[in-house]
Each structure stands twice: as C-alpha cells, then as structure tokens.
Amino acid sequence: MFLGFDFSTQQVKVVVIDQNLNVVHQNNVQFDSELPEFRTEGGVHLHSDRLTVTSPVLMWVKALDLLLDKMKGAGFDFSQVRALSGSGQQHGSVYWRKGAARTLNELDPERPLHHLLQDSFSVSDSPVWMDSSSTQQCQYLQAAVGGSLKLAEITGSTAYERFTGNQIAKLRQKRPVEFQDTERISLVSSFAASLFLGDYAAIDYSDGSGMNLLDIRSRDWSEVCLEATAPGLDQLLGTPQPSSSVLGAVSSYFVQRYGFSKSCRVVTFTGDNPASLAGMRLSDGDVAVSLGTSDTVFLWLQKPRPALEGHVLCNPVDWRAFMALLCFKNGSLTRERIRNERTGGSWELFSLALRETPLGNHGYIGFYFDVMEITPPAVGVHRFDANDSEVSSVSAQVEVRALVEGQFLSRRLHAERLGYSIIPGTRVLATGGASSNTDILQVLADVFNARVYTIDVSDSACLGSAYRALHGLTAESGHSFFDAVKKAPEPRLVTTPNVTAKEVNTHTHTHTHR
C-alpha cells in the first residue's frame, strides 16, 4: 500500500492506494471541529490588522496524531505500507527551535507527537498563504534583484506577500529573538515529511519554487534572493531535492507506535498545487482547468516564459520540466450572477443561450471582473461589440456567451504569455463544479481548439501524493511517473472543438490582445 497525506488549510487527510492504484482507505481530521482548543476559523487565525493570517503549528502535529489513531481504530494495517508521501498548503512556513533536530531523532513511541514536540518551534503560529502583511519586504526584494520581471525570471514569480521568502524577511526584522532561536525553516510540506522521517526533510524543487528564493532553472537557492532576505539563510533552509527523492525510512517512532514496516520509505513531500498536477496525471502539453469559486489553470511547460502574472514552478513529476499556475478570482460566482440576472437563475436556460448563439458571438465579447481580479489586476464589467466599441448592454443570450467566451479566452491568453502553446493532440482536463455542464465545456473546447476531458479529482492532492509515493520507489531506477501510474483510470472525453473554432479564434484573439 501507498499513503498520500495532504496538510491543507482546513484539514489533514489521507488517501491509501494499493499497487493497482485502487483507493482502499480514506480518512481526515477537520481542524475547527475536531481540534476546537486551537480556536481556528477555517483552519486559521485572522489577526487584528486583517493582513496577518497564521495557523498554530502544534494543531497540525496534533491532527496527525488524531488521524493515525483513527486509522488504527479502523483496523488499518500499517505494516503493508511500502512508501508514503504528502503535500502541504503552499507558502506556509514552520520555524524549528534550536535543539529540535535532536528531539525529532529521539521520539518516545509511548507518547503522542504533540506532547513530544510542544517546545520544538521558535514560532508557535506559522504564517500561511492567506497572509498579506509583507508588502514592504516584497518591495525590498524586487528592488534588490533589479525589478519585478527580473525576480520572475529567476524565481518564476514576481514578489508576493504570501511567498515564504518575504515572510522570513518580515519575521527576521519584526521578531529577531525568535529568528535567532531558529535552527531550520521548513515549508508545511517539508515540515510534515520531517515528522515521518524523524529528521529535517529537504524542501523539494516544486514547492520550493513558491518561495521567491529558488532559481527555477538551476534548481538551487538564488544567492541574490537569499542575501536580500536573510544572511546565512541557506543554512536554515537545507539543500533542495527533486520531488521524487526518497528521503529515507520512516522513523522508528512510527514503527513502534503504529506498526509501520522498518522498510517503509518516505518520499519528498510537495505543495498542494504540484501534488494536484500529479493527481490529475497531467502530461507534456496538457492543460487542466479547474472551474470553481475561483478558476485555476495548471499547465505543463517545457520552456517557460515567466511573466508579471501567474507562477512558474518546477514540475513535481519530471524534474526537467516546469508547471505553471494561473489563478482567476472571477470564476463560478460571476457565472452564477449572470445566470441569476439573465436566465432567471436557471442553468438550463444558461446552457440554451450557449447552444443558440454562434461561436465568436458575432464579435461581441465581455470582461467581467466582479471583484478585483488577480490576472489581470482589474475590476469592473466591460462589454464590446464587433467594432471594439464599448457597449452598455447586450441581449441576455449574447451576454451569457460573451461572459463564458471572455473568461476562457482570458485563460488561454495568459497561458500563452507564460510560454504555453496549443499543439495538435493537446488535452484540456476540466475539473471543479462547472465541469459538469457540457455546454460550458463546449465553449472551452472551442476557445482552446482542443479536446476536453473530465477527470474526477475530488482529492487530487492526496491522490497525487499517493501516486508520488509509488513513483518514488522506482524513480531511482529510471522509471517515469507515467510508468508508475499507467493503471489509473483514464480521463473521460466529453467534447471536441467545432471545425470552425480555429478561424473564429484567430479573429477573436487579436480582438482580446488589444
């Protein structure tokens, strides 16, 4: 068996697969309801400045105790586990106190982890991805490396408040005593791996590229970024490792307390987004579009062009390749607003409007930013006719298509800016709530001029981690990730593009670029 853990914002969960990739066990611990003593809301503490957002690191440790106890209670046989891996919410950081390595090495199997490690962290509340309190440090880092585009070229992203480097810089300035008392800094992913390993686990290339510190091409820390963040920081971070590395055997603590086999291997943990890419089994040239509250686009890239928008990360399943991530806030909620206002709250009428309007919408297009968008940073609703003139209103049917085509054109345009190109055979994998609507997916197929598949990935980060645990065992002998997961169920083909999609797209594309 192979275990995949996910330490996400609101819960820690596990998926277990057998060697044929069948899911044989799942379990989870919800932070707010099952660990109420930490008083989190949505797994976090929102501080009074409304910018600082943290999570108690001991809550994550105690949640793991609880999760493994639940599995034991369900009669799960840990001795059958050959390897485990996991993922963590990206951009969170954990600060180990001086002497914590020794504690990790000498854990007493009679006692739960959260008792043993209660004095092992110099900072008890970890900054997480929702934190946006490090603007000053972002500006400093960008200036130090020669501007935002230069930083994106080195690290794959411009400076973001939530990125770990900027959080470390802020901590060093604002809390120098705690910083001085720190002997190792982990990401949430490598912290979780450290618990299983009984030693500090390396940060992997993929999650490491969400820190504004890793040079995504050399796959090592960038000197100029380290220097601008904290002198001697490389000592605190350790050496980054490929995402498929086997870090070692599981700690004797887990062998004695839960009955793990001594030969069970711990494979590098990674970030939740890279783990999802593995869970979706995205391969070279594919694009995955998650249609949820916000829309996320995942790309597999060979030759990235980092830009001022979006993120380029090292690829978690093939260390020579890259992945990109684009996030759009105006996703399902905007689609629901137009459904409510123009089709009386009915998805059936919304779908009918898409079926009854032509591809290209007679030149009408709209950009609907109900809330401040991330990519691009804009707000407001703008509708244009075939002559590029802004219009204040259009018919209900035209509006529905203008919204959906406009959203998907924006997804495609920003993907191409990061170096993605659609080639014959490109697959678009659709997931998330709106992926159940075939008419919305038909527009997606037409705009990308590619076949659209759906894939059931309710726990893609967990599943991806279990797949990566399996791959880790064979990676050293040259087996690819895709050899390891060839027995997994194939995505389902839902729709193919209309024959006229290519010409209409070429015309609309120039329109959108302007």
Q: How confident is the model at residue 260 (pLDDT cuts 50, 70, 90)?
A: very high
Predicted confidence (pLDDT) at residue 513 exceeds the cutoff of 80 = no
Predicted confidence (pLDDT) at residue 26 exceeds the cutoff of 90 = yes
DSSP β-ladder status, 295-301 and 265-267: unpaired
Bridge partners, residue 127, by sequence: 54
Strands (E), 9-82: 11-17, 23-30, 45-46, 53-56
Q: How far apart are CA 322 and CA 386, in angstroms?
A: 37
Strand, helix or coil for residue 337: helix
Q: Could you tell me if 266 and 192 are in contact, meaning their C-beta atoms sit under 8 angstroms apart?
A: no
State residue 511's pLDDT score.
56
Instruction: Give one DSSP letter per residue of 169-182, joined into a string.
Output: HHHHHH-HHHHHTE
Tens-digit pLDDT profile for residues 315-336: 999 999 999 999 998 999 999 9
State residue 456's pLDDT score.
75
Lowest mean pLDDT among 50-54, 192-196, 443-447, 510-514: 510-514
Bridge partners, residue 17, by sequence: 2, 23
State residue 509's pLDDT score.
58
Q: Is the peptide bond before 376 cis (omega within 30 degrees of 0)?
A: yes
What one-letter code names the amino acid at 303? K
| DSSP percent split of the chain into helix, strand, coil, nearest 5 | 40, 20, 40
Instruction: Using alpha carbons, select from 305, 396, 277 the residue that is nearest to residue 345.
Output: 396
Contacts of 354 (CB under 8 A, 6+ apart): 400, 401, 404, 439, 440, 442, 443
State residue 507's pLDDT score.
62
Rounded to an integer, the average pLDDT of 392-411 is 96
Q: Tell how far CA 513 is from the center of its chain.
A: 28
Q: Average pLDDT, whole number, for the chain? A: 95
State residue 132's pLDDT score.
93
Q: Tell how far CA 467 is from the center of its chain.
A: 16
